[in-house]
Amino acid sequence: MKINIQNAINQQINQEQSAAYIYLGMSAYFESENLTGFASWCRAQYEEEIAHSMRLFQYLLDRDGQVILDTIKAPRMHFDSPLHVFQVALKQEQDNTKSIDKMYELASKENDHATISHLQWFVDEQVEEEKNVSECLALIERAGDDANAILYLNDKFGERTAADIE
């Protein structure tokens, strides 16, 4: 495996771990606000991002690459509102999509077919991730300042578990 591909994958492992940590911070924020449904939704996202990083971790090992783990920044712990959380979450997913696209372009340029094939799953997954977070954001926008609507959404979001997702 070429060193630039290995570097990009290691960077993406860090990105996925960082995304997980950001969702964990969001989950703690919601717990502190007694919005346990949103908290559990964010915790499911946390687990999903960890699973993404592990796919890349295993891929590097399978290709005899070297795993190099880097520092993970402390996540934001305070937010203005549920709306604010989902705005940050959508931006993060959009940034992650860009990062995966860049990795895909690099693998294509280097004619690394195995990496292209492995990354295809991530390309498809990001479509789902952006769609899910966008839909959540739209519902929270619609709820606005209506406390009953927010509590209803909190209950609905709480029905989702990590088992529902990949």
H-helix or E-strand spanning residue 157 = helix 147-158
- What x-and-dash track marks residues 8-27 binding Mg ion by CB under 5 A? --------x-----------
* Part of the chain binding Mg ion (CB under 5 A), chosen from 22-30, 31-39, 41-49, 142-150: 41-49
Whether 54 and 20 have beta carbons less than 8 Å apart is answered as no
Q: Give the residue with the Cβ less far from Mg ion, 136 or 153.
A: 136
Q: Look at the block and give the residue holding tokens 């960077």.
A: 11
**Residue 52 makes contact with Mg ion by CB under 5 A:** yes
CB of 12 to Mg ion, least distance (A): 9
Q: Give the residue with the Cβ less far from Mg ion, 49 or 112.
A: 49
**Residue 118 makes contact with Mg ion by CB under 5 A:** no
CA atoms of 96 and 16, how far apart (whole Å): 8
Q: Give the residue with the Cβ less far from Mg ion, 16 or 112.
A: 16
CB of 155 to Mg ion, least distance (A): 26
Main-chain dihedrals φ then ψ at residue 89, nearest 5 degrees: -65, -40
Q: Which of 6, 44, 46, 49 contacts Mg ion by CB under 5 A? A: 49
Q: Give the residue with the Cβ less far from Mg ion, 2 or 55.
A: 55
Alpha helices in 2-112 (DSSP H): 3-32, 36-62, 82-109
Residue 144: C-alpha distances to residues 34, 47, 77, 152 (Å): 18, 28, 22, 12
Task: Supply 67's token pair.
Answer: 């795993």
Q: Which residues bind Mg ion (CB under 5 A)?
A: 16, 49, 52
